[in-house]
């Protein structure tokens, strides 16, 4: 099993550009989520999904879109990147909400 994979590992964008951060898991987990990590802030939840076709907002959803068309994939879209979105992004998955969350290796995003 590859676990949770994220691509790319690093990305530099210009303000106003759009992009999609990819996340995939091969553990047949129902629950997936996206976090951002900023210095001194810990990890904060952006969006989450409890299954294919079901998504909901977390603590800091503004500027991000998600969709969940399959159990395996949960992409995060930045529609118009802003410098405030410079951060490290983590995707995670778990069999259910009360089970251990497995994290991907993260994507470091810089918006100039």
List residues binding another protein (CB under 8 A). Answer: 31, 33, 35, 40-45, 48, 50, 56, 58, 88, 90, 92, 96-98, 100-101, 103, 105-106
Shortest distance, CB of residue 16 to another protein, whole angstroms? 27
17 vs 88 by CB, closer to another protein: 88
DSSP H/E element including 38: strand 31-38
Q: CB-wise, 16 or 105, nearer to another protein?
A: 105
Q: Which is nearer to another protein, 17 or 101 (CB)?
A: 101
Least Å distance between CB 31 and another protein? 7
Give Cβ neighbours of residue 40 (< 8 Å, ≥ 6 apart): none
Work out how close the CB of 27 gets to another protein at its nearest, in angstroms, rounded to a whole number.
14
Spell out the residues 6+ positions from residue 93 whose beta carbon is closer than 8 angstroms to its own: 4, 25, 27, 29, 31, 32, 33, 74, 101, 102
The minimum distance between CB 80 and another protein, in angstroms, equals 26
- The answer to whether the CB of 76 falls within 8 A of the CB of 32 is no
Length of the chain: 112
């Amino acid at each position: 099993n590859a676990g949770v994979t994220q691509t790319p590992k690093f990305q530099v964008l210009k303000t106003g550009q759009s992009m999609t951060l990819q996340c995939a898991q091969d553990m047949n987990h129902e629950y997936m989520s996206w976090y951002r990590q900023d210095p001194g802030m810990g990890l904060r939840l952006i969006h989450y999904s409890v299954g294919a076709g079901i998504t909901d907002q977390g603590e800091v959803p503004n500027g991000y879109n998600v969709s969940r068309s399959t159990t395996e994939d949960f992409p995060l879209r930045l529609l118009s990147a802003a410098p405030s979105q410079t951060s490290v992004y983590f995707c995670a998955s778990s069999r259910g909400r009360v089970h251990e969350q497995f994290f991907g290796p993260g994507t470091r995003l810089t918006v100039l």
